[in-house]
Structure 1
């Protein structure tokens, strides 16, 4: 939890907007399950961590609330930081969700995903949605007749596999493997009218301002125990070009990204430790956050960390 909170605490546009909220109820969705309490605790954490008034700040109240969200977070047992991130962002979004006033979707193009995005925005509008949410295009192609069927869906976390053929791979290799799709069976082809084998492929139709990429370090192959993949995954600190993974010809406001934070994992699936490595908003330097300990790092030492698990990228403003 500490690792993820530090990564979010160094997400500049998120922190800048949330810490400006006053104490009034107008900023929060009081029809959500927790009536704005999770958002309020996250904001309190950000404010205290940037106040300069304390060396150590405990997110005890947020920890208690997250235990109410899901039982696994009640104790002190080792849990998955990516699962915590997903659940926290979902509930932050719910607490801050103020649906957009979309009067009409007339003219929105269905084939590009514009209409699907408009329908999503009818019910979802928050700083979490604006920063973290992107859109996938999923295309299923029938092996028999070649008919293609496309659907669009939202994402705020790319959970990419690590190709197991090599010990050392690039982040781009992992994204490519994710996008290349999978073989599926029993798909009812709209053209053939019967079940067929097919291929399901992903492309990104809308890139978000903040791109979160998690590596599938923990895998269960066949019927074996869950194990951790120790492959070295190299990743760029700057200029991650995501255009090769987008729908061909699509217009993207966000294109090229710079790394600003990561959550790392050392140890095994049963016993391990998470740390955060973040680029500070105040001095633009890299730091390692290890619970109550903070150490400055050189940019060269941040490159290709063998323990990297979740990467946080922000779009370049001129991209």
Structure 2
């Protein structure tokens, strides 16, 4: 296994500091935000899409506004890959559909969101322990929109009670999951949820969370965990420790600042998970296939 040197991490830190002023100092920053910024810059540099610098080539318009959701998903995805095509998008990007339905006339409207990381809520009523599947169920749970949050239905032409739900339309080869552990209690105070979210090391099948009645997509092979990041402490004063697997199903290592230690994973190692990294492919073959 190749272990990055201290100088390589210093070079990365300096580079990110030049690209984003927030990383130029020594203040603690959020690992999730850093990851998204880092991946965004990598995608920008590696983007090989034919029309990445100009407007997307227009696709034939959908004649029927009531076209099936699958047709609209494919239409949107073709426009997206026309401008975004890199090793980052190939491996990490999935697609969410946000669907609103009027409870009076049943008119529905859908919007699409490309994601490279799923940010999942942690159930508040599960006590000190819950499961990753509980977080996914809560994320995909149908939400009632009423009162001030009512939807202005374009068919009824007025605010109506509505239902809102998220649908997973495409699953990525590499699935990154972040737990929303930090909640704002007031404008000046945040709270960290200490709930232990239990998550599988292998055999994580997320296909059951894809609504097959709404979307047609190829099932993704079961995911295998290859890394996760723990957060200890508070939002203001905390510490990160990473656990990474060497190769496909190999030995686990703990990365604690400059210290790298071979470990055997225990339940206590997983109690403070903040970001999970799953893969559904053998990365040795996956990376060798890219130019």
TM category, shorter: 0.7 to 0.9
SS state at 2:35 partner:
helix
Tell me what 2:35 maps to: 85
How far off is 1:150 after superposition? 1.8
- Alignment partner, residue 286 of structure 1: 252
| 1:61 Cα deviation after fit | 2.5
Distance 2:20 2:197 in 1: 31
1:209 alignment partner in structure 2: 173
How far residue 70 of structure 1 moved from its aligned partner, in angstroms, is 2.5
* SS of 1:240 mapped into structure 2: coil
Shift in Å at residue 253 of structure 1? 4.8
Alpha-carbon distance between aligned partners in 2 of 1:139 and 1:55, rounded to the nearest angstrom: 46
In structure 2, the CA distance between the partners of 1:95 and 1:141, relative to structure 1 (3 Å rule), is: same
Aligned residue for 1:44? none
Distance 2:13 2:5 in 1: 19
Runs of 4 or more consecutive aligned structure 1 residues displaced over 3 Å after TM superposition:
54-58, 100-110, 181-184, 221-224
Deviations 1:217-265 (A, max 9, x none): 1111355611110001000001111112213152225242110000111
| Structure 2 segments unaligned to the other structure (5+ residues) | 283-291
Contact 1:98/1:126 (8 A) holds in 2: yes
Aligned equivalent of 1:46: none
2:90 equivalent among 130, 145, 148: 130
CA distance in 2, matches of 1:148, 1:244: 24
Q: Which runs of 5+ in 1 are unaligned?
A: 1-48
Measured against aligned partners, the alpha-carbon deviations of 1:12-45 in whole angstroms (never above 9, x if no partner) come to xxxxxxxxxxxxxxxxxxxxxxxxxxxxxxxxxx
**Which position in structure 1 is the counterpart of 2:134?**
173
Deviation per CA, 1:54-107, whole angstroms, max 9, x where unpaired?
864442222122123322211111111001001111111111111147988569
2:248 & 2:208 partners in 1: Cα distance? 33
| Counterpart for residue 309 of structure 1 | 274
How far did 1:155 drift?
Answer: 0.7
Checking the alignment, whether the CA contact within 8 Å between 2:207 and 2:219 is kept in structure 1 is no
Task: Tell me the secondary structure at the aligned position of residue 135 of structure 2.
Answer: helix
Q: Is the 8 A contact 1:139 1:151 kept in 2?
A: yes
Does residue 98 in structure 1 map to residue 58 in structure 2? no
Q: Equivalents in 2 of 1:220, 1:240: separation in Å? A: 31
Size of the aligned set, in residue pairs, is 266
CA–CA distance in structure 1, aligned partners of residues 248 and 259 of structure 2: 18
| Aligned-partner Cα distance in 1 for 2:218–2:81 | 18
Indicate conservation of the 8 Å contact 1:157/1:214, yes or no: yes
Query: 1:1-319 counterparts in 2 under 5 A?
Result: 50=2, 56-100=6-50, 111-112=69-70, 113-166=73-126, 167-184=128-145, 185-221=149-185, 223=187, 225-249=189-213, 250-281=216-247, 284-299=250-265, 301=266, 305-316=270-281
Equivalent position of 2:288 in the other structure:
none
| Matched position secondary structure for 1:64 | helix
State the secondary structure of the residue aligned to 1:310. strand
Contact kept? 2:97, 2:167, Cα under 8 Å: yes
1:168, distance to aligned residue in structure 2 (A) = 0.8
1:118/1:160 CA distance change after superposition, 3 Å: same
Counterparts of 1:263 and 1:272, CA distance in 2: 13
Shift, 1:145, TM fit: 2.7
